[in-house]
Amino acid sequence: PRGEAMRRALLVLAAASAGPAMAPDPPAQTLDCSKVPCVTLKNAALPGTRMPATGLGTGGYGSGFSGTWSFIACLNWLRQGGRRIDTALGYLDQPNVSRALKAYMKESGLSREHFFITSKIPGGLGEVNSTAAIDTDLEQLGTGYVDLLLAHMPSGSGGKGTPAELRRATWR
């Protein structure tokens, strides 16, 4: 599961020119773009991948108050029809985002494929630390995959090597 979840997270990152897919496709999207304006991502590894045009960014909520703020914000967003959540490992709120998403899925009867989850790992970690960060990211979210994974502020901030070497290694 560790390797499979990581491959699923990285699948959307692969450019169309990168060759064959790195893992089996995640479940087909079932976003209802008649109710939520969406854009189709170009050069996605999965042609036709759609992303809601608006989303809730969870940066700034953090894990304070036992996650009350991020949990309430996400749950209310989903109840209002929101389908895209943008979070990051560094925001310290992914377990609360996961809790809200699972609560809403139970409440609404919708499955994971109805939502678009973007997450970020710290940039410039190098290959080994990036892989570990992806594992932590997926574990905290508990979704099995994310729809879009980004390197957050890709500077050379961790690991051995120059900043440029670490940025390149982050994408391996």
Q: Point out the residues that are catalytic.
A: 91
Q: Tokens standing for 49?
A: 């991948």
Alpha carbon separation from 170 to 40, 46, 113, 124 (Å, rounded): 26, 21, 27, 6
Sequence-separated (6 or more) residues with CB below 8 Å from residue 19 = none
d(CA 114, CA 50): 11
User: Are the beta carbons of 156 and 164 closer than 8 angstroms?
Assistant: yes
* CA–CA gap between residue 121 and residue 136 (Å, rounded): 9
